[in-house]
Amino acid sequence: MSTMDTRGSVTATAAVTAAYARIAAADRPEVWIELRPEAEVRAEAAEVERLLGAGADLPLAGLLFAAKGNIDIRGLVTTAACPAYGQVAETDATVVARLRSAGAVCLGATNLDQFATGLVGTRSPYGAVRHAFRPEYISGGSSSGSAVAVALGLVDFALGTDTAGSGRVPAAFHGLVGIKPTRGLVSAAGVVPACRSLDCVTVLAGDLDLAETVAGVMAGFDPRDPLSRTAPAGPSTAGVAARIGVPRAGQLGTLAPGWAEAFDAVVARLRAGGAELVEIDIEPFLATARMLYEGAFVAERYAAVGAFVEAHPDEVDPVVGAIVAGARDVPAHRLFSDLEALDVERAGSRQVFAGIDALLLPTTVEHPTLAEVAAEPLAVNSRLGRFTNFANLLDLAAIAVPGGMVGETHFGVQLVGPAFTDARLAGLARRILPAGQTGRPAAASAAPLATQVPAAAPAVPAATELPAAKPVVPAATEQPGSAAETQPDEIVLAVAGAHLSGQPLNHQLTALEGRLLETTTTAADYRLFALDTVPPKPGLVRVAAGAGAPIEVELWALGAAEFGRFVAALPQPMAIGRLLLADGSQVEGFLCEPIATETAADITATGGWRAYLAR
């Protein structure tokens, strides 16, 4: 593949100029930790053009890429999203050097969950990385910036890392291909370790062919990496009849609305394509997944950066710091006990894969909002890794691909197989993607940013679509000076008490330049309680459908960054969750922990906080 292959007559230098223009137009600074100077990148692209003209074999000639900020890029500071940890890289990581040798041009380092600890993309001093197209939702982590850079068309492909799913989860959230190779197949030399024995450098791209090509360029033994290994020679089975394992009924657990149906649609697509679907018991895989953070293996994160974290507590994200520092005192005997248990699970895994070519699973279980992660940072993160955490522990290869759309939400699936079955998994993945397609075209070679939208994958039935977020305020209920339509980077928040107009905490919204949109009511599924707090405020609790009453709320629009700051300062027992409004739409809104209402007066009959105060 070359520049000519993907861009027609567009030169590498012209592609660089266009990419920097798109980056400026996108105005998403949280995607990047450090961009290389444009003039320097143009000069590198010009050298690629010269070599190509001289007949050099450059399979990635002129394609643009970014690398996660825990991967060394010569001349840039490798921070792993912790500025105090950063050091200027004197040489490229092996993977970056190999890509450059193949003609690819690196634009810079992307943002990540600090020290690659997380699946959410919000744990970074450089800013929470918002979803590329739905900024109230998370991007997914820890390879958050890399996924968004590809999805927005800022680069052709990007590098991430994947210890627990950090390459696959953000790929799923953006309708991208995410290749997690067999451990050791791609060198980790020049990569800040998260869990050294489990880390993998991954590829995120909009196109399966491109992702495979990039992974192939990066693969190969590297004496710089003591865990490097070479794939054994063997015949490809990509084109033959396949036996694909799927979970037994009920084992998927709780998925976002419509996702179970979307998974069934992928299964049906594979069956229609000639694959044999075999039900298997996935509980051993799920048990192994829980070992990654709940067992002794988390101690390897302390071995990687624990001394730094403890020496610089004020420089580290508090959630990341708690995870890493909490692993310090894991006893050695517990690690050996877990290793023994893992040996048993690996043996069981080998027996499972003796009867199937790959295991098909959803990539993750839900797509949470920034507010949901802020309210439950550890619980949400844990849920997101349900189907990804086990892969590296069991020495498995995996590939994540788009599985369809559920409303406005991307649904992704992954194929998992034994070590060194990477090519087989890619071949099987082609059976999932829409007929005649291997993914989306390379993003940076496509149309201008304004026209970059995800390609529609086969949709699940309309009945499974999620309620749309409330994007437009009816003109009849607009407040003076308010806009009828929210801006792309704004999040709608419903308030029901002390943050209402004229109430004691309303200044917290106006100080963040919040805009009042309208006054409306919730669905009749909520009860309101007068809490014993200072200042007085109510607690809104969702109950069974019809067991409550409509409660008056105001809808306010906040910028995504301001919304994040607002949520971060929220005291208990208050929380932010999804509120169902009377018109059937859903917005972010104040809720209350039910325990706080046990001794509070039920004031539901008043219909709202202001009416209660007036009484």
Q: Which residues are catalytic?
A: 68, 142, 166
- CA nearest to 136, candidates 471, 422, 526: 471
Encode burial over 545-573: b for 16+ CB neighbours within 10 A, e otherwise: eeebbbbbbbbbbbbbbbbbebbeeeeee
Strand-pair partners of 278: 245
Element (H, E) at 603: none
Tell me the C-alpha to C-alpha distance, in Å, between residue 481 and each of 475, 517, 518, 560.
Answer: 12, 9, 11, 21
Cα–Cα dist 417/397, whole Å: 5
Contact assessment for residue 437 and residue 209, using Cβ atoms and an 8 Å cutoff: no
Contact assessment for residue 110 and residue 158, using Cβ atoms and an 8 Å cutoff: yes
**In the structure encoding, which two tokens stand for residue 99, read together?**
């890509």
Element (H, E) at 411: strand 409-418
Cβ of 542: how many Cβ atoms within 10 Å?
A: 19
Cα–Cα dist 231/39, whole Å: 39
Cα–Cα dist 546/523, whole Å: 8
Provide the residue type at 402 as one letter.
Answer: P
Q: Specify the residue for token string 């266009």.
A: 18
**In the structure encoding, which two tokens stand for residue 52, read together?**
């190509």
Tell me the C-alpha to C-alpha distance, in Å, between residue 112 and each of 122, 128, 158, 175, 234.
Answer: 8, 9, 13, 19, 36
Q: Specify the residue for token string 């009816």.
A: 474
